Amino acid sequence: MTKPACCVCFSLCFLLIPIPEAKAQLFGKKKEPDQRKLAPGEFEWYPERAGSGPLLIVVSIDDQLAYVYRNGVQIARSTVSTGAPGHDTPTGVFTILQKNKDHESTIYKGAKMPNMQRLTWSGIAMHAGQLPGYPASHGCVRLPIEFSSKLFTITETGGTVVVTKRAARPAASEQPASILLASNVTTDSRPNPQLVGKTIWEPKRSPSGPVNFLLSGKDRTIYVYRNGILIGQSPVGILNPEIPIPAGVFLMLEGVDPNTVPVVSGRPARPWTTLALDEQEIGQGVEDLRRRLQIPKDFGRIIYDLAKPGTILLTTAFGSTPETQTKTDFTIMRPEGS
């Protein structure tokens, strides 16, 4: 399969925000214990650890491993084979665009690609294939045949896949929902961050379907997409805007968080899992976002009501402009230089 020009994909709409090559790490300094090394073709599968909840798949190119999390709990781990030099697997945040259990490649003369799960329309997918113990594909993520079959049964179109350079594990965030709803005044002597930009709310553009959010530091705007279609946006106040906000993925989980103060009166706080996408050391990334960001209350309540288990909030220091939009894919991030 050929390497695409861009690499974070939702259907219907395209929005390009370049970031440095994604090298994911945790928000914060919590680390999980090391796990035993897997031989090429080996995998672990423990779905009973979490019976329900949104899935998050993380592929580490450096480790040649894929991790599967359900509702924030690791339920599986597998060896993989990613793109060989010259056919690099792109890094970024993807959604599963298409599934086909008996797919044959239209690029490589009918090559068999069992349990194919497409990540880009230009040729990148996860599928069963040979695993020699090193990167050897034409850009796809090869999986052990049995693991690919098991994974195929639990994923859905629209599921989230993060491809990173080095090992990364998501962590439980601290009050991430408050990133999406903040008061119009600060609680200390710092000046209120300025709100610049227009507010749009046109849900009829896409009346139903999954909703995801994009927070752009450069635009100082949060965008709301449903089925990849922009249905709303609001200016965001950012303290010290000259300091880039960290790039990260926030995924809402099932259940409620009784230890977190609700951000909407009378409504429960929801648990989220977080994955940082910056190469730099982020440290207290979540707390930094909460401290620096302010969203108008009315729009924050709209966001709270829209967010459901599986909803994604992507944060980036880069911007979005109408000139980058097309009708083919919704791409949030791409590797540098692609």
| In-domain check, residue 59 | yes
Q: 3-class SS at 283?
A: coil
**The pLDDT of residue 38 is above 90:** yes
120 and 235 fall within a common domain:
no
147 and 177 fall within a common domain:
no
User: Both tokens of residue 94?
Assistant: 């993807």
48, 39 in Cβ contact below 8 A?
no
Give me the sheet containing 171-172, strands edge to edge.
Answer: 171-172, 272-276, 248-252, 312-316, 211-216, 221-226, 229-235, 200-201
**pTM recorded for the entire structure:** 0.76
Residues 279-310 have pLDDT tens digits of 544 445 666 677 788 888 888 888 888 988 98
Number of neighbouring beta carbons within 10 Å of residue 317: 17
| In-domain check, residue 41 | yes
Give the domain range for residue 191. 171-319
Per the model's pLDDT, the better-predicted residue between 215 and 277 turns out to be: 215
Residues 71-114 have pLDDT tens digits of 888 999 999 999 999 998 988 888 898 899 876 666 666 677 89
Mean pLDDT value of segment 144-160: 94
179 and 310 fall within a common domain:
yes
CA distance 18 to 157: 25
How confident is the prediction for the chain on average, in pLDDT? 75
Query: Could you tell me which of 17, 163, 166 has the C-alpha nearest to residue 94?
Result: 163
User: Both tokens of residue 105?
Assistant: 């490649």
114 and 153 fall within a common domain:
yes
When mean pLDDT is compared over 18-27, 121-130, 191-200, 316-325, the highest value belongs to: 121-130
70 and 141 fall within a common domain:
yes
**The pLDDT of residue 169 is above 80:** no
179 and 158 fall within a common domain:
no
The amino acid at residue 148 is S
